[in-house]
Structure 1
Amino acid sequence: MTIALLGTAPAAAQNEEASTLPGAQDPLVLVFHAADAPEDRTQAGISAIEALGAEGPADEHFAVDATSDPAVFTPSGLLDYNAVVFLSADGAVLNANQESALQNYVRLGGGFVGVHDAALAQPESEWFTGLIGSRPEAGGPADPQRAVVEVGDRTNPATSGLPLEWAKSDVWFNWETNPTGQVHTVARVRESTYEPGEGAEGWDHPISWCRDYDGGRSFYTGMGGTAQSFTENNFRKHLRGALLWTSRLARADCQATITDNYEAERLTAPNQPGELDQIGEPHGLDIADDGRVFYIGRGGHWADTPVVTDWNDPQIGLGEGTVHVYDPATEEVSLVATLDVFGNKGGGGELVKIEEGLVGIVLDPDFAENNWMYLHWTPHSEIDRETHMGERRVSRFTLDEETGTLDLASEQVLLSWPVQIHSCCHAGGGMDFDSAGNLYIATGDTNSSQFSDGYSGNNPEPNFEGVSFADARRTAGNTNNLNGKILRIHPEDDGTYTIPEGNLFTGEEEGGGKTRAEIYVMGVRNPSRISIDPQTDSLQVGWVGPDAAEPSTTWGPAKYDTFAVITEAGNRGWPYCMGNSQPYRDRNLPDPTQPLGWYDCDAPKNESPNNDGLVDIPPVTDNNIWYSPQGGGPDFPRDAEGVPSYELDEQTLRLPWLTGGGQAAMNGPVYRYDDSQDSEVAWPEYWDGKWFVGDHYDADQPRHAVVMDPANAGSGGLPVHAESLDEIIPTGEGGIRNLMDWKFAPDGSMYVLDYGRGFFTVTGESALWRVTYTGGEATPLPQDLAG
């Protein structure tokens, strides 16, 4: 048999025939351990691996040779094995020639599995460090502790059959260098469930990972540090899957989270001076089935463009709402439409800035046939300068394919409602369709919290011409108002709409006139982005919280930005409760500065003088994700009435992967992998089912993919697992610094809008980006499978 020299290219690259790879058609695994290894753990591991080799269908069986003799590590001897396992292999156990043989074996396409203290073997070898992925940090825990393992990879054979999370006792290493991004992590250990000691990793603590390394395949698990581990069903499943992949009996994608496998490319050039030829003030996007990306500009212009703020001037707040399209086939951008909106009114104090304009876009499910586009906007023509009121509407327009422009004369107004435009803020804007053709519309509460010190926006006193602009009980907390809601309607072909079954109200409660049947969800503050999971039809939404920097024992929780999975109609709390049913204090006339009782999240009442809806409103459903300037998931001890202490030094952060500060939640999509799509840029199947949540800002704020438990996601269950996307959707200088919208295209790539560097304006950094996957396919290749 010919033996390849060190440095030879991987066999799969030289020849597609499986015979060139190490191992045999009757797979054989070498289990190697140190001669002085703990006998109970070593024998338990060998017995487990031998038993695993006989489990499952016959074409997944393998035989086992176990030895403590390093003399088996010869260039020709290793070629008999499909995989080599280092078990209980602490210390320098191979000499230079023996390690050279192992290197040669891996470079020929061999498989390697390292279990627990295999990470301590060959301590002077940089190559072996790369094979493992990292080394244990000195001074970490030495004794077994019970902890929770999070399973982030739902497709890898080592984790696909495991629960989302499971508790086990083991010795949990800390790492000299966190390998995240350099290896593909399949499972993490949750540090909040044990004492990690010196060198703790924090929320991102990888415990099992894999990588295609130096021509071969390497899988490492930090578990298996006790004899008991090898008798546990979940760990045995985990180890068996690792052995199947490394032995070439199963394929796995071990490249999906390696950050160098992703490419972020800016697609739009800066606008020409004084023009909006490439992009407006970025505010949302949707993607057609043919891959064209339609994106909108809210209404702001260049920073040096004069802004009319005088209510006596007919041009007050006049802005350009823009619709552009990027065509990936031609890589060109064109301006589809310009609408006159009330929206170019930004900067300055409370009574100057505004967030109205062109705030939402969605394409009809049958856009390829009918060219219908829905826009969520505030037309300038409908403002009342005396009452400082405007009209928000959702309109359907038709795209003229011949001219490539939107036919403004084709407008069909589906739905319209009044909004106050005297004071900042919160227009919302997000829209999406479910599989039944129902349209979801996110509306903001058009309310200011500046008159309640940044806590609940429930001050009934400030008003203009009799319309309160600081009392969200008038809007988000009102069953008879369309603001601060997620609406759900079914558009009809004639430009009207019907009401789907299952909305929160029928419109007939208490004899009618107290509720709006369009409301699906109430109690949201400023939901700029929503998404529908195309597989389950669940609604994902995020909204921005008020401005209080810290919790108050008088008024309630601090600023909580929020994300929620919504599976049925309900009340999400604002302005009565936030997070996991954490109540605010009520206030009312004649003196709103004096606190009244705490709101009852289970039976809230709207007793505002500005309420024209029901007094008894639906109970509040807990939300899944919330974060404050102090961090993610703040929670407090509660008294007998269920009221949190709101003492900062008693706070527990239940979602440690989240941090806040200046924050603005930007909900993203649930990715669904399409295995029928022949795409060279699609994000891998690893991300299937993961929910993308992020923040407008890129400093310490979230940009994560999270795994939810379907059993409790709709009722406020916390994420089971989260991982940072900061190196994939790049942050920092030269990256996507101000996330404004993000969606997956039919080809599986992701499009992202970067807002730019100044509010209510367009800047040179305002841009459309695309993030594509450039890694290879799963390994081993089909022709290289053993058996």
Structure 2
Amino acid sequence: MQHLQSAPRHRSRPPRRVWAAVLTAGALAASLLGGWSASARPYPDDPAPSAGEAREAREALKAKVRTTLSLPAPPGSGATVKVLVFHASASGEEAPNVDAGIEAVEKIGRSGPAAQRFTVVATDDAGIFTKPRLGKFNAVVFLTGGGDVLDPEQEAGLEAYMEAGGGFLGIHDAARTEPYSEWFGGLVGARATGPTAVQRATVEVGDRQHPATRSLPLEWKRPDKWLNWTTNPSGDVHTVARVREATYRPGTGANGADHPVSWCRDYDGGRSFYTGMGGTAEAFAETDFRDHLRGALLWTTRLERADCRAAINSNYTSERVTSPNQPGQTDQIGEPHGLVVAKDGRVVYIGRGGAAGNAPVVTDWNNPDIGKGQGQVHVYDPKTKKVTFAGALTVFGNKGGGDELIKNEEGLLGVELDPDFLTNGWVYLHYTPHSRINRDTHMAERRVSRFTLDPATNKLDLASEKVLLNWPVQVHSCCHAGGGMAWDSKQNLYIATGDNNSSQFSGGYSGNNPKPHFKGVSFADARRTAGNTNNLNGKILRIHPEDDGTYTLPAGNLFTGQESDEGGGKTRGEIYVMGVRNPARIAVDPKTDVLYAGWVGPDAGEPSTTWGPAKYDTFAAITRPGNHGWPYCMGNNQPYRDRNLPDPDKPLGWYDCASPKNESPNNDGLVNLPPVTPNTIWYSPQGGGPDYPRDAHGVPSYKLSEQKLLLPWLKGGGQATMNGPVYRYDTASASKDKWPSYWDGKWFVGDFYDGDQPRHAVLTDPKTAGRGGLPTHAESLKKIIPVGAAGIRNLMDWKFAPDGSLYVLDYGRGFFTLDDKSALWRVTYKGGEPTPAAADVVKKEVR
């Protein structure tokens, strides 16, 4: 056993036994990233030095210490992997978790595979940081109490150790140590307030790859003293776990929905890991917490590589790749409405049909040009960095028509490329042709057609159109056209359609008013569309396109087309999902074939005890065909109130989400509908995941005073969901721009608006996804995909390219138009490889 003498000024009791545990070590390495140097520590009684004097003094101290230390680079380059546990306390009173902490690190060092074992030495003698033997340690663990435990020379020794490639693990009160040191504050990552009393809470484990977290539960329930942070470090450090404040009482200085608890970063040439957990002696007896510490030590000692750069904002670059249109032209972009990326990296993006803000608006239905717009297709080639105007469809999609004849959401709505696009050039477009509108009945046709794009010229052959699918839509009253499309691995095409319903006539609650109509066609009753088993609006359709331009129906859709409670003909076999309001964007996970969708909710600003929930914008992970509720139920199966003729203003009974019935006079489908599947994410102007106590019949109270927010990371207001992709990391790709594997399997959810609306990456639990299970973790992307005046303010679509970069469409500043802010952006990663470098991983012969 090795012994280190405890210095009297740090001794909390008579000299204790020296802690040492022998072990063998295997694969290890160090990453030497460029340093960051802060000013020397200003003590309260010292005169304030100038910045230059402070730097000179600190560098002089480090130079002096280096001559004593003779540090190898990286430290711990000998045959035995060693870990130093430093447990000094400025108060002289040793914290009650010290013995348990040292014992836990010892046990970690003795256990596990032989190649991961290490020797542990513990001391409270700060003199170790100015001694040559410091260089023998692969990592230093600070199991310290708060306060000033290092003099300037000792701190300079620790700094020199890190600059040489050392490893650091700070536990709990280490965030209070060296309170006057800016450099040490950077080393631990944040400064603590509190602590709170011991409370049981839920830890959300967002990093599923780091050795410190990969074996932990998605939602880790445990007791501890939960610290608050004076400044939230997320984005400056790589956060691997967060504590959910809704599961305990965080007290004064709470950090909110984003409350980091464990993180790491490559710091000043070395590797730093910090956890705010471990505030009790009992914590160190937990198997999961020891696994957490083990993984942190595997990385800090260089026994394993890990990525501690992936969630750091500064490692991402956002670049606008299109310029504003030339005056009077649309050479760069139309009214942004969707994008898709080809396997060769070309980006095909569409403009819905709105013209520049100064274009004339035709409001006379007798005018043949009413609503006439140009649905434009552009192609961006990242190899040449050039945009080609591929062509335009004449669509019903410009202003004119719709409510009050001033707005129109029809037009060119969606784009997808054939799975074999690089050989056949086929492009699928979802649009409303202007040539098919009826100016007498105010009816139009929506269709999905296949066109051919010339790969040599990037020009669209408009004469090549093959119409796969078409269906009627009313265009007397705006809105809700939907539009997104996506493929699954079996080459089935999913098509999102809006409920083709007015937002008016229901007070912003359920769109179920059967009274308004134009020439016999209802336009305010979504039971005619989204809630109708015989109508293709308000749905996500699934078809299998054939080479001849037709389609077949894959097995396993919601209906066969033959069901009826009256003998047949009341369902459409194309329907995969019914009960969606306005699903603009959908995505299919290429690994699991899970469908992800988001749709915009109605307009009610708050819940009503008479009519039901406020507007809920919704995201859903969809694992099987089903009914997702609109206009009967929303969120986690919160029902609306029925209404019907002769007086739709009179509320009837609450809808039964388990057994909904379509009793609208405008229904030509089944009366008895499939049960409603609860959704994954919903948010209102009050916040994310509103829920209420329910009565014996399952009806929520809908009283704001009784509201509970299940998803506090979400805010609402003006809101319009923009569902995003699930990222899948390509290990075979040599791209230097690809997002790191940390994001693999995470679902990107966003909103058209930038403010407080979502722009997050979320994790779901595969065991509950698709059945209403809430996300287990969410983290903001707002500084990676920047918001604000110079950023991406109005997110319209976002998709990953085969090279792992992210393309984002910014709509512009306004509605039903385009302007000089309408743009295509590209977001790339520049953080580099995981650390330590592969050549620096410790490789030790194991006998």
What letter corresponds to residue 403 of structure 1 in structure 2? Answer: T
Paired position in structure 1 for 2:705: 649
Change (3 A) 1:385 1:349: closer
Given the alignment, which residue of 673, 688, 692 partners 1:632?
Answer: 688
Paired position in structure 2 for 1:708: 764
Mapped contact 2:402–2:475 kept (Cα < 8 A): no
Given the alignment, which residue of 748, 756, 759 partners 1:692?
Answer: 748
Please say if 1:494 is aligned against 2:548: yes
Mapped contact 2:449–2:466 kept (Cα < 8 A): yes
Paired position in structure 1 for 2:735: 679
Q: Describe the SS at the equivalent of 2:376.
A: strand
Given the alignment, which residue of 93, 100, 103 partners 1:47?
Answer: 103
What letter corresponds to residue 262 of structure 1 in structure 2? Answer: Y
CA distance in 1, matches of 2:726, 2:307: 20
Q: Describe the SS at the equivalent of 1:77.
A: helix
Q: Describe the SS at the equivalent of 1:185.
A: strand
Change (3 A) 1:131 1:461: same
CA distance in 1, matches of 2:256, 2:127: 41
Mapped contact 1:7–1:107 kept (Cα < 8 A): no
Change (3 A) 1:695 1:573: same
What letter corresponds to residue 439 of structure 2 in structure 1? Answer: R
Q: Describe the SS at the equivalent of 2:178.
A: coil
Mapped contact 1:533–1:539 kept (Cα < 8 A): yes
Please say if 1:368 is aligned against 2:422: yes
Please say if 1:428 is aligned against 2:482: yes
Q: Describe the SS at the equivalent of 2:97.
A: helix
Map 1:504-653 → 2, pairs under 5 A: 504-510=558-564, 511-653=567-709
What letter corresponds to residue 370 of structure 1 in structure 2? Answer: N
Please say if 1:311 is aligned against 2:380: no
Paired position in structure 2 for 1:21: 74
Larger Rg: 2
Paired position in structure 1 for 2:339: 285
Map 1:377-526 → 2, pairs under 5 A: 377-510=431-564, 511-526=567-582
What letter corresponds to residue 70 of structure 1 in structure 2? Answer: A
What letter corresponds to residue 571 of structure 1 in structure 2? Answer: N
CA distance in 1, matches of 2:98, 2:631: 59
What letter corresponds to residue 588 of structure 1 in structure 2? Answer: N
Change (3 A) 1:403 1:99: closer
Deviation at 1:77, TM superposition (A): 2.4
Gap regions ≥5 residues in structure 2: 1-34, 36-57, 64-70
Paired position in structure 1 for 2:349: 295
What letter corresponds to residue 469 of structure 2 in structure 1? Answer: L
Which portions of structure 1, spanning 4 or more consecutive aligned residues, are displaced by more than 6 angstroms?
7-10
> 1:342-397 CA deviation, whole Å, 9 max, x = no partner?
00025995443110000000001111111111000000011110000000000001
Deviation at 1:470, TM superposition (A): 0.2
What letter corresponds to residue 513 of structure 2 in structure 1? Answer: N
Please say if 1:260 is aligned against 2:289: no
Paired position in structure 2 for 1:13: none
CA distance in 2, matches of 1:25, 1:769: 50
Please say if 1:745 is aligned against 2:789: no
CA distance in 1, matches of 2:348, 2:62: 45
Deviation at 1:247, TM superposition (A): 0.2
Mapped contact 1:27–1:62 kept (Cα < 8 A): yes
Please say if 1:326 is aligned against 2:362: no
Q: Describe the SS at the equivalent of 2:613.
A: coil
> 1:435-477 CA deviation, whole Å, 9 max, x = no partner?
0000000000000131001100000000001000000000000
CA distance in 1, matches of 2:367, 2:406: 14
Please say if 1:778 is aligned against 2:834: yes
Query: What is the aligned-residue identity percentage?
Result: 70
Change (3 A) 1:74 1:230: same
> 1:310-357 CA deviation, whole Å, 9 max, x = no partner?
100011110000000000000000011111000002599544311000
Mapped contact 2:487–2:493 kept (Cα < 8 A): yes
CA distance in 2, matches of 1:192, 1:178: 17
> 1:408-458 CA deviation, whole Å, 9 max, x = no partner?
111110000000000010000000000000000000000013100110000
Mapped contact 2:72–2:164 kept (Cα < 8 A): no
CA distance in 2, matches of 1:246, 1:208: 14
What letter corresponds to residue 130 of structure 2 in structure 1? Answer: T
CA distance in 2, matches of 1:55, 1:345: 70
Gap regions ≥5 residues in structure 1: 11-17
Deviation at 1:59, TM superposition (A): 1.5
What letter corresponds to residue 694 of structure 1 in structure 2? Answer: G
Mapped contact 2:379–2:458 kept (Cα < 8 A): no
Please say if 1:66 is aligned against 2:119: no
Mapped contact 2:365–2:401 kept (Cα < 8 A): no
Change (3 A) 1:325 1:750: same
> 1:709-751 CA deviation, whole Å, 9 max, x = no partner?
0100110100100011110000011100000000000000000
Given the alignment, which residue of 253, 275, 279 partners 1:199?
Answer: 253
Q: Describe the SS at the equivalent of 1:397.
A: strand
Given the alignment, which residue of 245, 249, 263 partners 1:209?
Answer: 263
Q: TM-score normalized by structure 1?
A: 0.97
Mapped contact 2:587–2:723 kept (Cα < 8 A): yes
Change (3 A) 1:347 1:725: farther
Deviation at 1:786, TM superposition (A): 1.3
Please say if 1:736 is aligned against 2:792: yes
Deviation at 1:75, TM superposition (A): 5.2
Paired position in structure 2 for 1:15: none
Mapped contact 2:374–2:394 kept (Cα < 8 A): yes
